[in-house]
Amino acid sequence: MRDLVSITTEPPGPPAELIFGDWYPALRSSELRLGKMTTALLLGVPLVLGRKRDGKIFAMRDLCPHRGIPLSAGWFDGEQVQCKYHGWKFEPCTGQCSEIPSLTRHETLDPGRIFAAAYPCEERDGYAWVYLPEAGTGRSLGTLPEVPELPKFSQRYRSAHLVADLPCNVDHGIIGLMDPAHGPFVHQAWWWRSRASIHEKEKHFEPIEDSANAGRNAGFRMSSHAPSANSAPYKLLGVYGEPITTTIDFVLPNRRYETIRAGAKWFSSLTTITPVTPSTCRIDVIAAWNVFYRVPFVTPIAKFFGVRFVRQDQETMIEQAQGLRYHPGLMLIDDADKPAKWYFALKQARLKGTGEHPLAGPVTLYWRS
C-alpha cells in the first residue's frame, strides 16, 4: 500500500531537526526474507536490513567501513554480510567483522576489532523498528527505551496497516497529524462528516511525563471523553448504549496512540510520522480491533476507509509542500494550533535535554471543527 500518490521530484522543502536516540519503524518486517537484503532510508541514514537464518532481523548502516560502498551491493548468505568490493565479512546483528580476505600471516590486524555500524532492530506489530543512536554514542548504548507497540486489549483481534510517503519534513507531518481544524475541510466525506457540521469543541488535555526515561518520551493526552457525535466511524463501531472512552496520546518523538473502548469492544491505532530524510517523512498507521470480529471483509473495509483518510492528508501535504519550498513564515494560532505549539516545545526540551514540559497540568482547549 505504498505510494498512494507518488512523490514529485521537485526540490525538497525546508529540513527539520531530527531526534536521534529513539526507535523508528523502518519498514514492514514481512519484506525481510531469509538470505535477502533490503534497503531503507531512516532519518537520512541509509540502512541495509535482512533476516538471518535463525529468524533474527538486523539493520546496519548501508556503508562498508572499509571504503564506503553500500553493503547491500554485496552478498548475504543468511549468516554473514559480505562486501562486494574487497570481500570483508560482517556479522550483521553486531556489525563485527569476521574476515578480511586480503590479510596474510604477516599482518597483525585483528578483523574482530573492526565494526560496521549495526543498530538495535526489533519486530513489533509487523514492523522492523530500528533504534538510531545519537551521533558519537559509540557501541555501548546502555539501556534502551521499550520498543513502541500498539496496545491490544484481547487475545483475538484483527489488524491492518497502511503507509504513505509525505513530501514535507517530519514537523509538518506531525502537526498535520494533530491539527483538529483541517478535518472538516480535508476529510469531508459522507462517511466521515460534512463541513456543515462544524461546531464548537471543548477538549481536555493533560501532560504525559516520562520520568522513567528522563522525559524522552514525554507528550500529552487528550483525555477520555465521549467522541464527537458527528463522527460516523464511532457509529460504525456499533457500540450504542455502552459508554465509550477515547484517549489520544501524542508522545515524542513521533507517535500518536488512539484507543477507543466500549465494554469489551476496542479499537486501537498507532500512527507514526517517521523522518526519511531531514525534509521528507512517511506516515505509518497500524490499527487493531476486536469489533465485528466475526464479520468477514471488515479488514478490507477498514483499510479502505483508512486509505481514503490518509490519502486526503497526503494530497493536501503534497500541495502544502509546493508552498513550503518558498520558505514562508508560518503562524500557529490559539487554540486550534496549541497542540502543535506543545509539540515544538516538547521537541526543543528533548533536544536540549531540559526536561521542561509545556503543560503544567490539565488544560482545556476550545475550537470549532
Closer Cβ to ligand FES, 88 or 220, answer by number: 88
Give least dist CB 54 to ligand FES, A. 25
Residue with cell string 507518488: 6
Closer Cβ to Fe ion, 22 or 179, answer by number: 179
Give least dist CB 85 to ligand FES, A. 4
Give least dist CB 178 to Fe ion, A. 10
Residue with cell string 534502551: 144
Determine how β-strand 121-124 pairs with β-strand 127-132. antiparallel
Closest residue by Cα to residue 307 from 328, 326, 321, 287: 287
Closer Cβ to Fe ion, 159 or 320, answer by number: 320
Strands (DSSP E) contained in the chain are 22-28, 37-42, 45-51, 57-61, 75-76, 81-82, 89-90, 97-99, 118-119, 121-124, 127-132, 158-166, 200-208, 219-225, 245-251, 255-262, 265-277, 280-289, 363-368
Closer Cβ to Fe ion, 313 or 337, answer by number: 313
Q: Which parts of this chain interact with ligand FES (CB under 6 A)?
A: 64, 66-67, 69, 83, 85-86, 88
Determine how β-strand 363-368 pairs with β-strand 200-208. antiparallel
Give least dist CB 107 to ligand FES, A. 15
Cα separation, 48 vs 92, in Å, equals 9
Give least dist CB 89 to ligand FES, A. 9
Residue 313 contact among ligand FES, Fe ion, none, beta carbon within 5 to 8 Å by kind:
Fe ion
Give least dist CB 72 to ligand FES, A. 12
Cα separation, 20 vs 121, in Å, equals 15
Residue 341 contact among Fe ion, ligand FES, none, beta carbon within 5 to 8 Å by kind:
none
Whose CB is nearest to Fe ion?
313
CA dihedral (250, 256, 262, 263) in degrees, to 10, reads -90
Q: Which parts of this chain interact with Fe ion (CB under 5 A)?
A: 313
Closer Cβ to ligand FES, 75 or 157, answer by number: 75
Closer Cβ to ligand FES, 37 or 175, answer by number: 37
Distance of CA 64 to the CA centre of its chain: 27
